[in-house]
Structure 1
C-alpha cells in the first residue's frame, strides 16, 4: 500500500511539473508570437517524406498543460478511490499510457504521427472501460472501440488521399484542401464525429461510464472526447467557406439538443454528467462550424476543468454511498458532505453559465457570437432549447441527489474527511472559478465588439431562468407522485433512450451478421452439406446395403417374378 501511494504521488508531481512548464512556455509563445516545430525524417517515398513531427505552439502547449493538470489531480484522487482494488498498479499504468497517447495527439500536426496517439487513445480507453470485468463493461467496451474504429479507418483513408498533396502535415496544407478535395474533409469530419460522439455515434459515450469514475473524469472531460474537437480546430482552415460547415452545424446542434433532452430523463448520476459532456461537445463543434475555432478551443479548456470537477464530486458521492449511482437513492447529502456539495454546486453553476464562473465567459460568448452569425432558424432554436435544457437537468440533478429526503442505505458512511479525494477537487474548483477570466485574457487579448438587440442580449439569461423553473417544478410534481406525466410515456421512452441510438448502434453490428450466419447454416450446414455430405452418403449406403442384403437372402425369385408380372402388365397395356 505504501508503494501504491508513493507511485500515485510521484506521478502527480511529475505531471504537475509538466503542466506548469507547458503553461509557462505557452504564455511566452503567445507574447512572442512564435512556434517551435521539431521534425525527424524517416523514409523518403517518391516525392513525399514520411516524417515524425512535433509542434509546440501556444494552443498545443496550453491544452497539454490542462491535460496534465487534470491527469495529476485524477491520479492523486485515485490513490483513495482505487486503494482496495487488486489491479491498482495496472490502473495507474493505463492512465499514464492514456495521458501519453493524448500528448502524442496534441503535439502532432502530421496525420501519420497523429495516428499513433489517436489509436492509442482508442485502445487504452477500451482497456479502461472493461477494467471491471463483467458483461456490462464488456458490452460497453465493444460499443466504444467499434464506434471509434470507424474514425480510425477514416483517418487511414485520409492519409492515403493526402498523399496526392505530397505531404501529410495538415496544418500547413489545410488551406490547400478546397472543395475539390471534399472527400478528405469528409473523412476528417467523420473521424472527429466518432471520437467526439456526435450523432449518430453518440451511444458509446454514456455506455463508457462503465469505467471507474476517475477514468470518466479524465477521459470524458479533457482527453478522449475532446480529441475530435481538437482535430477539427487544427483542421479549421480547410473548413472555412466549405460545403461541410452547414452539415457539421446541423449535426452538432442536434447532438446538443438530443443530449439535453435525454439527460432530463436519466437517473444514473454518471450518465447524466456524460450526457452533459455530449451536449457541451455539440456546443464546441457547432461554434467551430460557424467559423470560430478559437471560441471552441476556449470553451474546451474551461469545460474540461469544471466537468472533471463534476465527475470527481460524483465519484466521492458514489464511493460513500456504497456504489449506488441512482440519484433517487441519494438525498440530504449537504448535511454529511458539505465540502463536496459546495464543489459540486460550483461545477453545476459553471456548467449552467452562472455569471463570473468559468462557463460564463465561454458559453455566453459562444451564444452571443452564434446569435450574431448568419444561422438559420433551426440552428437558432436548437441553441436556445439546449441552453434551457442544460439548466433544467442541472437543477433536476441537484434537487434529486442533494436536497430530497435521505434515501441512502444505513451502512453508508457519508463523510468529507478523506483529504486524498477532497484536495484535488479543491484545485479544480479554483480552476472552475478563475479559469474563465484568466484564459479569456490570454486567448483573446484584443477586445471585440458584439452588437446585439436587447432581446437577443437578454435571451440566454431568460432561457436559463425558464429552464431552471421547468426543472424544479417538474421534479416537485414527481415527488408528489403525480403520475399524469405517464400519459406521455412513449415520448419519455424515446427521449430517455437517446432517440433509440444505442439500439440502432448495436443492431447492425449484432443482428445482421447473426441473420446471415443463420441463413448460411440452414442452407449449407443443415442443407446441401448434409445432403451431399455425411447424411447423404449414409442414406445412399443404407439403401444400397438393403438392396444387396435382399439379393443375398436368396430373394432373387421374388425379384424375377415381380419383374415378369410388370412386363406382362406393360405388354397388356400396349396391346
Structure 2
C-alpha cells in the first residue's frame, strides 16, 4: 500500500504543480460550484476555489506526503498495522486538501476538524501515557479555534452566504463586521500555536517521526497561516494587525530562546517550526501576504527534511533523542549528516539555499517597512537565535566524541529512507530560486544602505558564533546557566506556558468539573431535583396505571375512602 500511495500522490502532485504554473502565467482563477441538494427554495452548494495559490500549496503538500509515506515504509517497518497508519496519513492529507480549496467557511470547518481529529489519532499512535497526554493537550487546544470558527460561521449569516471570499472587501470597511476577523484570528492562533497556545506544539512530538515531518512542515500547523493569508484583507488598517504582530513576534522570540535550552532533538526542531510560524505570521501582519506564502512553501521543504534526518538518527541511536548522547555522526552517518546540515543551513538562511530567498526578502522588507524599534529588535534577535540553536545542534550531534553505548551500531539507513531524504535535499536547494521567479512577476529590488544590506548576514554570523561558544562552554567547561537556574527554567520551559495552559488551566477545569459533579450530580440538589421528580412521576404513573384497570374492587375501595374522608371533615 505504501508504494501505490507514493506513486499516485507523487504523480498527482506533479500535475497540480503544472496547473499552478499555468494559472500564475495567465493570472487565472476558477470557481467550481456543485449543487449537493436542491429542494424548493433550499439549495446546498459546495464551492471549490482553484487558483495558483491553492494549486501550488496542494502540490507541495502532496509532494511531501508522498515522500513521507515512502519513508514510512522503512521507518514503520516493524509496525504490523502499517496500512492503518498509511490510511490515517491519507485522511490527514485529504482534510488538508479540503481546507486549501475551500472558499466556504462550512467546508473549511470540515477540513479543519478533520485535521484536529486525525492529528489526535496520530499523536496517540504509540500508545502510552505520554502520548495520551500530548494528544489530549493537542485536541483541547485546537478545540478553542474550532469554536471560534463555528462562531464566525454563525456571524456570517449576516451576509446570506458562507463564501467568505466574496465579502472580504465589505468586511474590511465595516467595523462591526470585524468580529469575523477576530474569530478567524483566534482560530489561526490556536492552529499555528502562537502565544498563548504554544504549549501543544512541542508536546505533539509524541507522534511518530514521519507524522512530525508532515504535520510540522506543510499540514496542521500551516493551516492557520494559510487561513490568515486568505483573510489578509481584514488585517489592513486595523488593530488586528498590531495584535497579530505583537503575538507572533513574541512567539518567534520565545521559541528561538527556548530551543537554545532544549536537549531533545525532536523538540528543538519543533521549536524551530514555532519560530518560523511566528516569522510567517508577523510578516503577514505587516502586509506582505505573498512573502508569508513564499516562506511557507520553502520552509515546508527543509523542515520535512530535518525531521526525516532526525528520524534516521533516532533509529540509529536506539530510539534515544538526547543530543548530549550524540557526537561524531558526520563520520558515522555521512549521507544523513549531509542532508541534516544542508537543511539546517537552509533554515538559517544560508545564501542560495531555499530558506535564503524567502528569509532574506522578509528581513529586508522589515528593514524597509514602518515598524517600531521593539518589533525590529525581536525580528533580528529571533533570526540570530535561529542560527544559534542550529549551530548548537550541529556542534552537539556532528562533532566531538560519540557519547552513546559503544555496542550501538551506526550506519546510514536503508536506501528507501535515504532516497526520500535526498529527494527533499535537492528540492531544498533549488526550489527557493524557482519559487522566487514564479510567485513574483517581476524581480523585487529593495534599495538599502550597505550596512543594512549586510545586517542580516552579520546577525546570522553572530548567532552562529554565539551557538558555537555556548555549546563549547557547556560541553567542555562549567555550565554557567546553572548559576541562574530560575532564569534558565523560565526560558527553557517556554516562559512557563505549559504550566499555565496545561497544568494550570486544564487541571483547574478538571477540579471544577469534579466539584460540580459532586455538588450537583451526586448531591442533595440532584436528590430533591431531577431524581426525586423522576421517582414522583414514576410513582404517579404507576398509580394512574392501576386506576386505569377497570376493576370493581378498586372503585369500591376508592368510593369508601372518599366517603370516610368526607365524613371526617364534615
Stretch of structure 1 that moved more, 27-36 or 279-288: 27-36
SS at match of 1:500: helix
1:324 paired residue among 320, 324, 332:
320
Do structure 1's residue 283 and structure 2's residue 283 form an aligned pair?
Answer: no
Alpha-carbon distance in structure 2 between the residues aligned to 1:200 and 1:274: 16
Distance in 2 between residues matched to 1:426 and 1:238, nearest whole Å: 40
When residues 96 and 475 of structure 1 are mapped into structure 2, their CA distance, relative to the original with a 3 A threshold, is same
Q: Deviations over 1:254-305 (max 9, x none)?
A: 0000000000000000000000000000000101001111000000000000
Say whether the 8 Å CA contact 1:49–1:167 is kept in structure 2.
no
Where does residue 80 of structure 1 map in the other structure? 74
Give how far 1:455 is off: 2.5
Which digits, 9 at most, give the CA deviation of each residue in 1:510-553, with x for residues without a partner?
33234335655786799868999xxxxxxxxxxxxxxxxxxxxx
- Structure 1 residues 490 and 166: alpha-carbon distance in aligned structure 2, compared to 1, 3 A threshold: same
Deviation at 1:122, TM superposition (A): 0.5
Matched, 1:119 2:145: no
1:17-47 alpha-carbon deviations (Å, 9 max, x no partner)? 1100000011111111111211123457999
Which has the larger Rg?
A: 1
Gaps of 5+ in 1: 1-6, 533-575
Q: 1:490 matched to which residue of 2?
A: 486
2:534 aligned residue = none
Q: Distance in 1 between matches of 2:200 and 2:345?
A: 27
Q: CA deviation at 1:412?
A: 2.5
Cα deviations by residue, 1:113-132 (Å, 9 ceiling, x for unpaired): 11111111000000000000
Structure 2 CA distance for partners of 1:531 and 1:116, relative to 1, 3 Å: closer
Q: Do the aligned partners of 1:27 and 1:58 also contact (CA within 8 Å) in 2?
A: yes
Q: Does 1:16 align with 2:3?
A: no
1:303-314, aligned counterparts within 5 Å? 303-314=299-310
Where does the alignment leave 5 or more consecutive residues of structure 2 unmatched?
A: 529-570
Cα distance in 2 between the residues matched to 1:230 and 1:520:
40
Which residue among 216, 221, 230 is the counterpart of 1:234?
230
Does the 8 Å contact 1:48/1:166 carry over to 2?
no
| In 1, Cα distance between equivalents of 2:368 and 2:484 | 36
Shift in Å, 1:487: 1.3
Matched, 1:341 2:337: yes
Match of 1:131 in 2: 125
When residues 336 and 453 of structure 1 are mapped into structure 2, their CA distance, relative to the original with a 3 A threshold, is same
Report the TM-score when normalising by structure 2.
0.89
* Residue 322 of structure 1: how far off its partner (Å): 0.6
Q: What is the distance in 1 between the residues matched to 2:284 and 2:38? A: 35
Whole-Å separation in 1 of the counterparts to 2:104 and 2:236 = 20
SS at match of 1:37: strand
**Contact 1:361-1:440 within 8 A present in 2 as well:** yes
Change (3 A) 1:43 1:176: farther
**Closer, same or farther: CA 30–525 of 1 in aligned 2, 3 Å:** closer
* 1:315 partnered with 2:311: yes
Aligned mates of 1:184, 1:80 — CA distance in 2: 45
Task: Give the CA deviation at 1:54.
Answer: 1.1
Is 1:381 the counterpart of 2:380? The answer is no
In the alignment, the residues of structure 2 paired with residue 155 and residue 529 of structure 1 have an alpha-carbon distance, to the nearest angstrom, of 36
The alignment yields a C-alpha RMSD, in angstroms, of: 2.1
Q: Report how far residue 48 of structure 1 moved.
A: 8.7
Q: 1:204 to 1:518 in 2, by over 3 A?
A: closer
What is the TM-score normalised by the length of structure 1? 0.88
